[in-house]
Amino acid sequence: MPTPNRPFTALLFDLDGLMIDTEALSGQVWRQTAQEQGIPLSQQQLQMMVGLSTERCLQYLADTLPDGHDVQTFGQLARQRYHRMLHQADIPLKPGILPLLDWCLQENLPRAVATATQRTLADLKLTRTGLQRYFTHTVAGDEVAHSKPAPDVYLQAARLLGVSPADCIVLEDSPHGAQAALAADMRVIVIPDLVPPPAHIAKQALAVCQDLHAAQAVLARLV
């Protein structure tokens, strides 16, 4: 495990719920589609899916829903609705992300995006929000063998940047994402969006911050 207060070389960013406010939108899509399909989807199930790839979400639902529900058809309909909303609706930025990214440019900090989202959606979100210009390297969930909470996306991001995992700090909003960062032997700052980190994750995190402004203050002390 890397020493908590040592300087860092690179900063790795999650996407949904961390830089852009899309987790609530995603949950809305899942709820609406489930209601239309007569699928009993609880708030607890929705919270368990935060930070997971669509494929992992569908596998989780297949494992937890009563028999007789067509999870694959439900997933296709939910994906179609989500794609339409991403093309048509505004995608809000999370407060503090632009000042943080501008600070990264000022400090010349190597950085990358590592997301559970599939490549086509990740590119759409980064382009529509204007965040693409801040990143040369991005890793999507469908480009690695195992998506979050496995460490693959973060390890690949470190390889692309040419840095050691121990020299990276990850910014994450979800417990699954924080678990992926810790499994990659990286330090993680958690900025909770919809789901607070469980106690064992919060204990291992470098910090748990209320917003990205507070996270930037933590980072500034380590540069």
Domain ends where: 88, 113, 128?
Answer: 88
Residue 13's H or E segment, with its range, is strand 10-13
Q: 143: closest CA among 115, 162, 163?
A: 115
The verdict on 105 and 211 lying in the same domain is yes
Q: Please identify, among 55, 73, 88, the residue that sits at the C-terminal boundary of a domain.
A: 88
* 15 and 55 part of one domain: no
Can you give the pLDDT of all 223 residues of the chain as single tens digits?
Answer: 567 778 999 999 999 999 999 877 778 888 888 888 888 888 888 888 887 878 888 888 888 887 777 888 888 888 888 888 888 888 999 999 999 999 999 999 999 999 999 999 999 999 999 999 999 999 999 999 999 999 999 999 999 999 999 999 999 999 999 999 999 999 999 999 988 999 999 999 999 999 999 999 999 999 8
pLDDT at 179: 97
Regarding whether 43 and 99 lie in a shared domain, the answer is: no
Identify whether residues 165 and 107 lie together within a single domain: yes
Q: What is the CATH number of the domain that holds 163?
A: 3.40.50.1000
Same domain, residue pair 123 and 45: no
For residue 178, tell me if it sits in a domain.
yes
* Number of domains forming the structure of the chain: 2
Q: How many other C-beta atoms can be found within 10 angstroms of the C-beta atom of residue 178?
A: 28
Model-level pTM?
0.83
Asked whether residue 170 is domain-assigned, the answer is yes
Q: pLDDT value at position 154?
A: 98
For residue 2, being part of any structural domain is answered with: no
Residue 31 belongs to domain with CATH number: 1.10.150
Question: Which of 40, 61, 88 is the endpoint of a domain?
Answer: 88
Residue 81 belongs to a domain = yes
CB count in 10 Å sphere of residue 221: 8
Residue 117 shares a structural domain with residue 106: yes
Q: What is the pLDDT of residue 2?
A: 62
Mark whether 200 and 169 lie in a shared domain.
Answer: yes
> What pLDDT score does 95 carry?
96
Residue 23: which residues within 8 A CB-CB, separation 6 or more?
16, 17, 50, 173, 174, 193, 194
Quote the domain boundaries for residue 167: 10-21+92-220
